[in-house]
């Protein structure tokens, strides 16, 4: 019993260096084996090159709101976006629409050597894409696009194309709404034009009868329709060989109608100016393109590989193996000691 206690005390008081020295041969064998195997594995890993694009989102979404509309506080089209715009940019960069266009353009299914007939081919392709392409927001509210590939030129091309496709992807998402808005305003605009033409034709027919309305002084911003009618000069009828009774009949039948039509067309024309402005703005938003980003640095083919870092793989593998060997030896010795006791 005393001998067992002595053994336990001796074991517990062993110095780490003495323990390593005691098992030096085994640890050397484990370390060398791990280093050789990890070196071979590291050499078998294909080199990858990394290319990076750094860009800032723009604050501007609507061209008309920023440049053409005086009713709003104009946004600075040269201002960099902030946190909200950076988060929106990340969401679009991670969208299936943008990813699908990159996969299709560069034939990444074949490029990554994934069997398209495999049951999980899409999952494997998605995992491979995410392992090689990453998007990250920086502390300065810019967005960094990192692309790794076995070919340095391909990595740079994909990174630059992702940045280029960001604009079209975002605009495609917004365009469905802007086109719908354009159709609504366009319908209102041409409907109002049609109404004005119908009123103009009616006034023309009345004028052909010899009945004319006085020219209006027009409405100011604060005038009501009653003010407008007050500014309207009396209706007059031209001398056209008609008898007095005939003139009175025409005046009585069409005089009030002519005044109403003239008042109505003035109001419609004023409304038409507002609708036309909105129509032009909606047309600009639906048809014109304004860049949605500021590119700080473009990607270029890397001169040196970024992955794998072979010495790091060998070092980590060797240290992990030695640590595992030491733990295993300690465990075995404790089991032996437990059995002895």
Residue-wise pLDDT tens digits, 248-300: 666 666 667 777 878 888 888 888 888 888 877 777 776 666 777 888 889 99
Contact 295, 55 (CB under 8 A): yes
Return d(Cα 185, Cα 194) in angstroms, integer.
14
3-state secondary structure (DSSP) of residue 55: strand
Cβ atoms < 10 Å from Cβ of 141? 17
Q: How confident is the model at residue 141 (pLDDT cuts 50, 70, 90)?
A: confident
* Predicted TM-score (pTM) above 0.75: no
The pLDDT tens digits for 86-100 are 898 899 999 999 999
């Amino acid at each position: 019993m005393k001998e067992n206690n002595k053994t336990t005390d001796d074991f517990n008081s062993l110095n780490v260096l003495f323990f390593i020295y005691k098992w030096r041969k085994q640890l050397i064998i484990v370390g060398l084996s791990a280093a050789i195997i990890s070196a071979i594995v590291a050499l078998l890993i294909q080199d990858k090159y990394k290319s990076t694009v750094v860009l800032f989102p723009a604050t501007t979404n609507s061209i008309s709101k920023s440049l053409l509309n005086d009713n709003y506080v104009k946004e600075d089209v040269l201002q960099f976006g902030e946190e909200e715009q950076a988060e929106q940019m990340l969401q679009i960069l991670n969208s299936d629409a943008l990813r699908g266009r990159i996969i299709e353009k560069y034939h990444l299914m074949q490029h990554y050597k994934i069997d398209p007939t495999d049951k999980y081919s899409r999952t494997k392709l998605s995992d491979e894409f995410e392992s090689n392409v990453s998007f990250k927001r920086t502390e300065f509210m810019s967005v960094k696009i990192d692309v790794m590939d076995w070919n340095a030129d391909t990595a740079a091309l994909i990174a630059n194309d992702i940045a280029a496709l960001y604009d079209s992807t975002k605009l495609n998402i917004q365009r469905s709404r802007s086109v719908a808005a354009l159709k609504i305003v366009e319908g209102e605009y041409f409907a109002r034009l049609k109404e004005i033409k119908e009123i103009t034709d009616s006034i023309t027919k009345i004028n052909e009868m010899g009945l004319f309305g006085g020219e209006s002084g027009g409405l100011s911003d604060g005038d009501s329709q009653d003010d407008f009618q007050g500014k309207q000069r009396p209706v007059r009828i031209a001398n056209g060989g008609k008898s007095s009774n005939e003139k009175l009949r025409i005046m009585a039948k069409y005089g009030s109608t002519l005044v109403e039509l003239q008042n109505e067309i003035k109001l419609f024309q004023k409304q038409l100016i507002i609708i036309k402005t909105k129509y032009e703005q909606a047309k600009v938003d639906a048809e014109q393109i304004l860049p949605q980003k500021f590119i700080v640095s473009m990607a270029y083919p890397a001169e040196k590989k970024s992955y794998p870092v072979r010495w790091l793989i060998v070092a980590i593998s060797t240290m992990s193996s030695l640590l595992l060997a030491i733990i295993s030896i300690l465990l075995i010795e404790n089991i032996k000691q437990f059995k002895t006791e």
